[in-house]
Amino acid sequence: MANISIEEIKKLKELSGVGLTDAKQALVEANGDFDKALEAMRKKGLTKAEKRGDRETREGLIDSYVHDGRIGAIVEVNCETSFVAKTDEFKDLAHKIAMQVASMAPLYVSTENIPEDVMNAKRKELEENFKGPEKMKDQIIEGQIKKAFSDKVLMEQPYILDDTKTVAEFIKDAIAKTGENITVKQFKRIELGVTE
């Protein structure tokens, strides 16, 4: 068995959001390979995060970000308990989401928030201009709709501070670390001289 230090166990616990026992077990199973253990724990943490996605979020906070006095965003980010809402990590998460909204100008929190008439109009437009194989039509149009709205939906956008993940994945990482469900309830973006 590989020699595993308590520092490595604590570091793995901190980075993955799992308990000490799970962190030690992962290092033992990975034969002391820290990176391998971290990857295993992240997968485990994200699996737990997905299960937490159904839990109610009634606490949280409102945060804002103003860029150069010209663009501003205000967001409501929710979690399960006031304890987590008061942590620096949660406040930082909310602030980064406000930065994302200011920078990337999304119109909707998630695809579920896209109004039905907007979705139907886009679908109709794509169907009228469709030039592919008929048997693949529905599948292709669904893909085109997803692509058309991906930059307008906050959760689907590439995260500005790490474009290897979406905003939804960034939030899932936070869920894995905090052990609580986290949702973005609403946002508002204001740009100097631009009215809706």
Question: pLDDT tens digit string along 2-37?
Answer: 678 888 877 777 666 666 777 788 888 888 888 888
145 and 160 part of one domain: no
pLDDT class for 44, splitting at 50, 70, 90?
low
**β-pair type (71-79, 59-67):** antiparallel
- Residues 84 and 178: beta-carbon distance below 8 Å: yes
Give the model confidence (pLDDT) of 127-145 as tens digits: 888 887 888 888 888 888 8
66 and 102 part of one domain: yes
DSSP string, 34-97: HHHHHHHHHHHHHHHHHHHTTS---EEEEEEEEETTTEEEEEEEEES-HHHHTSHHHHHHHHHH
In CATH, what number is assigned to the domain containing residue 34? 1.10.8.10
Q: Among 115, 114, 109, which Cα is nearest to 167's? A: 109
- Residues 122 and 92: beta-carbon distance below 8 Å: no
Element (H, E) at 20: helix 20-29
Instruction: Give residue 17's pLDDT.
Output: 63
Summarize the confidence of residues 46-61 as an average pLDDT.
65
**β-pair type (158-159, 162-166):** antiparallel
3-state SS assignment for residue 186: strand
pLDDT class for 191, splitting at 50, 70, 90?
very high
In a domain, 145, yes or no: yes
104 and 157 part of one domain: yes
80 and 169 part of one domain: yes
**β-pair type (162-166, 59-67):** unpaired
Residue 109 has pLDDT above 80, yes or no: yes
> What's the length of the chain?
196
Average per-residue pLDDT for the chain: 85
| Domain finish residue from 52, 74, 90 | 52
Burial class (CB in 10 A: 0-12, 13-18, 19+), 192: exposed
- Positive or negative, the CA dihedral 5, 8, 14, 19 is negative
Share of the chain above pLDDT 70, in %: 88
> What type of residue is 112?
E
In a domain, 196, yes or no: no
pLDDT class for 54, splitting at 50, 70, 90?
low
Which residue segment(s) compose the domain that 67 sits in? Answer: 59-109+152-191
76 and 88 part of one domain: yes
